[in-house]
Amino acid sequence: MTTDDSMDDDVFESSEDTIAQAKLHITQNAHKTVPSPTGYRDYKPPAEILKLCETDVIEDTNQRLHKTILLGDSGVGKTSLLVKFDTGKFQPGNFSATVGIGFTNKVVAVDNSRVKLQIWDTAGQERFRSVTHAYYRDAHALLLLYDVTNKTSFDNIRAWLGEIREYAQDDVVIMLIGNKCDCGGDRLVRREDGERLAKEYNVAFMETSAKNGINVDLAFMAIARELKLRQSGNKDSNKFSVQDYVREETEKSSCPPCYTT
Amino acid sequence: MATNCEIEPGAAVESALVTTDSYENFQQMSSSLEEIKNSNYAAATPEEFLDNCNNLDNDIHLTCSPVTSSSSRDEDYLQDEEWLSKSKHVFVLSSAGKPIYSRYGNEDRFASYFGIMQALVSFVQADDDSIRSIHAGDRKFVFLFKEPLILVAVSKTEECTIQLTAQLNYVFNQIASTLTLSRLVKIYEQRRNYDLRRLLTGVDRFIDHLLDFSENEPAFTLGAVQCLPLAASVRDSISTAIVQSCSKIKNVVFGILLAKSQLITLVRMKKYYIHPHDLHLIFNLVQASESFKTIESCWAPLCLPRFDSSGFLYGHVSYLAEDCQACLLLLTVEGDAFHSLSEAKQRIVERLRRGNCLEAINASLTTREETCMEMGFPELRHYLYKCKSTAQFYQPTKGAPYSINCKRLLNLYKQAHYKLHCPTRPLKLLFERNGNDALLAWDTPGFELYAVLEPLTETSSAITTVGRLLSWIKKREDKLFQLNAPTF
């Protein structure tokens, strides 16, 4: 039966909301007992409608949208990072500046439960700042990118952090990302410089490559995990958990070492 | 010459597009934004578009060969065969001579040429005059000075000065569209030496695309748009879906659905019209942006210079669905309407899906239009039909011999269009034959028709064919054109 399929275990395990559980039980009981709640004997609403109702219940309780915004100078690879994460594809040599701001929804699995990320891609150019600032306020997480082959984009990170402090919530999760770490000899920003800056501002840090896929999933998964922990009201978790997680995962994973010159 | 039709095909009582002559000056721009913000109901003064075209002959004709001596250090481009072989160069500089854009090559390396261009413009300007063009051999140097920018085209194409100026105007409008004209002017009032490229990162791609687009699409020459052929009932239900889904949202000015470079429908706010030139900028924006394709929905400020050059409209831009690559734009004056328009978009897609409109759009997108031969006009090779009152045009699929060499066909059209719109001596009717093709161009108060025929076609049979063609179009007008102008 379709309705039973969607009653997978993690709904009950991860559900903190007892009302939701109760609701689910009612729905479950409703079409097992006769007469049905519609008042017609033996009437069962079509399976797809029942399923719709139930997914709604699940989404309302567990599927809060986590807004994550990609920020950074024009051309550092925000859109590429998102496209790589979303579709697994990378289009080389096809730079097209993003216009304005836009989002893509993506559901990821964290510890057997689903976390719904709404990932916002922004235009890096100055002329779009007035549009993008308005969206910082509801952001739960910010991925701040620079390009390791472009010193200016790294130097501008402090200005970006200043803007974030001005417009975003105080408890927003921030991750600093040095993109294009596949560059080899073209590198102009050392990994240590990125790490030092991240430490100074007490934010998580990693280097990624949208081209080779290095750390792309890890970056978004770390954010998803942190957001899920926060949502479940785990007060022990603080900013450092992302950093620790990132450190652990980068050590575990067998990603090729990023060359520093 | 008499037509068989009472009313020209494609004509409608109302049009959502401002109807124009394509060579009209771009200087007049309306200020509609304040009006909409202040009151939706106050009576608006009709937008009057004055034609400022003065036909003074400011063209300088040189008989000497182009001067190539330059004492600068940046001579490498003049040695560069590939760079020199480009058929049309376009440069944009500030009135102080600072580089902003070059179609080919890095504009920083032209610093000295930009200096020469600026000197030429300001030298002529000192006499309260303005330089329009310099003709040297097969090359035309066309200048457009629109405070605070100077735009220059260096071309060896067959396009005439007016057409080149029109393209420069498009480039100017593309820049104004990203920044607004008011901001552009203000920037240079504050700092004459400002490097505008700081604010225009990424815009060069749009200008590149716009130039290619304007060279290859007859829409730009005609100052009109082509509609995606759809049954009138389908087009109407699409418009209705857009109107109903946005009914509760304040200040949505335009709803535009387009696919490829064709318009599916255009819904507008009462009293407001969109200019075909602005619509071309929108087509260009959608086609040149990769990000719209990867993102579910996008929110971008956008200035439509002919609509209001002083402020931004905000555009909600999204492709309808994975399985239907039509792009929907909802333009509003409210800067914070993104979420309500995202919801409206969902409702529109649901309605269209229920009404089987997505299939209809897909079917039309995958069906190739008939060639003239298939339409039953063996002596006709290709044609452009523009209905003036709605600023829409139609063209069939290009058949032989233009399926490969369509540049030649476009050139024929451009030349014929110029002869019909030449400011000093416009023609009403033109029939030309040469070894390759015959061309009949006809300008009436209601429509313009450009028909390319077999080279051996006699005048009389050309006229019969054109008469037959007009009634053929008339019969299909509700499919080929959007005949109504739905409003929110």
Judged by CB atoms closer than 8 Å, whether chains meet at A101 and B297 is answered as: no
Domain ranges (residues) in chain B: 66-200, 372-478
Q: Which residues contact B275 (CB under 8 A, 6 or more apart)?
A: B17, B18, B20, B304, B306, B307
Mean pLDDT of chain B: 86
Chain B residues near any Cβ of chain A (below 8 Å): 178-179, 198-199, 201-203, 205, 285, 288-292, 294-301, 314-315, 317, 335-336
- Indicate the pTM of the whole model: 0.82
pLDDT confidence band for B406 (50 / 70 / 90): confident
Q: Rounded to whole angstroms, how far apart are CA atoms B331 and B311?
A: 13
Q: Are A171 and A138 in contact (CB under 8 A)?
A: no
Number of residues written out for chain B? 488
**pLDDT value of residue A241:** 62
Q: Quick one: pLDDT band at residue B107, thresholds 50, 70, 90?
A: confident
Task: State the SS3 of B445-486.
Answer: CCEEEEEEECCCCCHHHHHHHHHHHHHHHHHCHHHHCCCCCC
Instruction: State which fold the B372-478 domain adopts.
Output: Beta-Lactamase (3.30.450)
B409-452 confidence digits (pLDDT tens): 999 999 999 999 988 899 999 999 988 899 999 999 999 999 99
pLDDT tens digits, one per residue of A109-142: 888 888 899 999 999 888 888 888 889 988 999 9
Give the separation between CA A66 and CA B356, rounded to whole angstroms: 34
Proportion of chain B above pLDDT 90, given as a percent: 62
Task: Please choose, from the candidates B405, B393, B386, B394, the residue with its C-alpha nearest in 3D space to the C-alpha of residue B449.
Answer: B386
- Tell which residue, B476, B448, B427, B431, has the closest CA to residue B383: B448
Highest mean pLDDT pick, A55-59, B49-53, B312-316 = B312-316
Q: What are phi and psi of B430, to 5 degrees?
A: -140, 130
> What pLDDT is stored for residue A62 in this prediction?
56
Question: From A74, which residue of chain B is nearest by alpha-carbon distance?
Answer: B201
Which of A131-140, A194-203, B290-299, B324-333 is the least confident region? B290-299
Q: Strands, E, within B48-87: which ranges?
A: 59-62
Q: Is the pLDDT of residue A23 over 70?
A: no
| CB < 8 Å to A100, chain B | 298-301, 315, 317
Q: CB A99 to CB B292 under 8 A?
A: yes
Q: Is the pLDDT of residue B121 over 70?
A: yes
Count, residues in chain A? 261
For residue A90, what are its two tokens? 């990378």
Residue in B179, B317, B335 closest to A127 by CB: B179
Contact state of B205 with A103 under an 8 Å Cβ cutoff: no
Whether B466 and B384 have beta carbons less than 8 Å apart is answered as no
Under 8 Å CB-to-CB from B404, ≥6 apart: which residues?
Answer: none
Contact check, Cβ <8 Å, B291/A102: yes
Region B1-29 average pLDDT = 62
Contact yes or no for B487/B269 (Cβ under 8 A): yes
Q: Is the ipTM of this complex over 0.90?
A: no
Query: Does A50 have pLDDT greater than 70?
Result: no
Question: Within 10 Å of residue B50's Cβ, how many Cβ atoms?
Answer: 9
Tell me the C-alpha distance between A40 and A10, whole Å.
33
* Of the candidates B3, B118, B86, the residue with the CA atom closest to the CA atom of residue B468: B3
CATH fold group of domain B66-200: Profilin-like (3.40.1840)
- Contacts for B427-432: CB closer than 8 Å, 24+ residues apart: B429/B1, B431/B459, B431/B462
pLDDT, tens digit, 9 for 90 and up, residues A28-48: 444 444 444 555 666 666 666
B27 token code pair: 């200087």
In the predicted structure, residue A167 carries a pLDDT above the cut 80 = yes
Which of the four pLDDT bands, split at 50, 70 and 90, describes residue B24? low
**Residue whose structure tokens are 């063609």:** B469
A-interface mutation test, from B286, B291, B302, B317, most A Cβ less than 10 A away: B291
pLDDT tens-digit profile of B341-374?
A: 999 999 999 999 999 999 999 999 999 888 988 8
Distance CA A149, CA A171 (A): 30
Token representation of residue B161? 């000065």
